[in-house]
Amino acid sequence: MENQKVALITGSNRGLGFETAKQLGEKGIIVVLTARDQNVADEAAAKLTKIGIKAYGIKLDITNTSDRSAAAKFIQEKFGKLDILINNAGVGPKGDFFVNKSVETDEDEFQYVFGTNVFGQVYLTNDLLPLLKASGAARIVNLSSRLGSLGTHAIPNGPFETVKRLSYNASKTALNAVTIHLAAELKAFGIKVNSADPGHAKTDMGGPNAPMEISEGVRTSVELALIGEDGPTGKFIHLGQEIPW
């Protein structure tokens, strides 16, 4: 077990997170699945264990300080390192997502969305950094969205004219900034950090009519989690192609 890679995937009891854990586990990686409820995390891990994957479930609300500390302690005591961190957990604004809403966005919506999509990601990554550095060649994948691309939003009459939800879009733009800064800061430790756009997949947020299956939606994250020394860092990628910041 000590020679196997270890991956932690946040928000992995269902959807993209669960499928990411499954695909990494099928490649021989030990996976740690997380959910806000311990029983839910255990149930998700048990599904993978039944198909021969080494999987563990832990309670982790990334906005909760004690949960983050407990997660770091678990990984330290169980494995002594962390090779892959998939910052998959994320939330959309409550209510109808597909409503253009900018200047009238209230404080509660900003706090709710940024608390998970930005601050929780940063704080968890910081708590796990000693374990990531212990890997020697760790990979961090931040689940972003093309909706965070300022370059795409700035196109006159572009593809996102009807998806101008500031709280969510700006949270993904901010997460992309985190990616760029962490990639530069952690390069000396052999750690690669990238933002992944999964695409519009059939998740709870994406809806049943999304064009991509969940299995295809995790392809970018899985590929970035497994890149070699010559792989990219500090990039925003979807299915092998760079996306404008």
Instruction: Show which residues are catalytic.
Output: 168, 172
Residue 21 to residue 10: CA distance in whole angstroms: 10
Residue 76 to residue 84: CA distance in whole angstroms: 14
Residue 140, strand partner residues:
85, 193
> Are the CB atoms for 125 and 185 separated by under 8 Å?
no
Dmax (CA) for the chain in angstroms is 53
> Are the CB atoms for 15 and 22 separated by under 8 Å?
no
End-to-end distance of the chain based on CA atoms, in angstroms? 39
Place of tokens 């604004």: 93
> Are the CB atoms for 231 and 192 separated by under 8 Å?
yes
Residue 224 to residue 6: CA distance in whole angstroms: 15
Report residue 184: phi and psi, to 5°.
-70, -40
